Structure 1
Amino acid sequence: MAELGSITLKVVTDKAEVTLWNEYVDRHHYLSYKHPIGAALKYFIMSDHPQPQVLGCFRRAMLPHEIPGLLSP
């Protein structure tokens, strides 16, 4: 693990990153990528050694109270 350097999570935010995230999951996940229902955060698992690189991807479903403005009056 030390040879990977720091491992961080990067929230996928812009359109190009979302497209890349979808492509990676579609290409490498055994079920490919199907757009799920509901709000979610997408992340890249990143390493910074020897240069920034994507090690993996994951998605976390958001709970209703985590979605800005959904439950506020």
Structure 2
Amino acid sequence: IMEGDLARTIEKHLPQIWHVQLADNPGRNEPGTGEIAYPFLYQWLDQLGYAGWIGCEYKPKGETEAGLGWFRQAR
């Protein structure tokens, strides 16, 4: 975590945000394995009008293919 209070931090700095890079906390594992409410943040980014890229740079907890299940759920 670099800032905390993610929703308000994203909203405050949205004009300067061109790319969102994500990994869950703790452990930098795939989304949904930690404490960050990714469905909420994806919806929040949509509501704010964010049209940039979202990149994923995380360490899979297990096998890579099994760790992609979060993506199917997010779509």
Question: What TM-score do the two structures reach when normalised by structure 2?
Answer: 0.25
Structure showing the higher strand proportion among its residues: 1
More helix by share: 2
- Relative to the length of structure 1, the TM-score reads 0.26
